[in-house]
Structure 1
């Protein structure tokens, strides 16, 4: 079980109500479940978001396959409107 920080950006930050928070989770899938349980709006945002793990994009890899290490920073990036 890793301990780290999850950072929220844009709509994820608004839905979480905080810019970041500590977490404990073994992989990215577990982390997402842990932080979205009981937070319906954050769960909606997370479903359409991209994730960075220590600055590296997760892309289309299965979240269960993304093993987290102690001290890791995970960032939640909702889709951004451009223009």
Structure 2
């Protein structure tokens, strides 16, 4: 199980109520599930479902989140859709 930091941006930050926090997870899917259970906030669950994720700066893309392994010391960024342009 890897330990690292998850950073929330924009609407994800608002819904989580924190900018970043430590985590322990094996995969991105595991991390998202833990965050969803921890906060029990439907707004955060909705935002996570719409978000893109970076793991150490690399996009997770459309891969199955349970197939995206998280390395030790990773930074995972939660990037909700941004309005405007």
Q: Which TM-score band (shorter chain)?
A: over 0.9
Q: What residue in structure 1 maps to residue 9 of structure 2?
A: 9
CA deviation after TM superposition for structure 1 residue 40, in Å: 1.9
Q: What residue in structure 1 maps to residue 42 of structure 2?
A: 40
Name the TM-score, length of structure 2 as normaliser: 0.94
Q: 1-side partners of 2:36 and 2:14: how far apart?
A: 13
CA deviation after TM superposition for structure 1 residue 41, in Å: 1.5
**Bigger proportion of residues as helix:** 2
Structure 2 portions without partners, runs of 5+? none
- Runs in 1 of length 4+ with deviation above 4 angstroms? none
CA deviation after TM superposition for structure 1 residue 39, in Å: 2.4
Q: 2-side partners of 1:16 and 1:22: how far apart?
A: 13
Q: What residue in structure 1 maps to residue 21 of structure 2?
A: 21
Name the TM-score, length of structure 1 as normaliser: 0.96
Structure 1 portions without partners, runs of 5+? none
Count of residues in correspondence between the two structures: 83
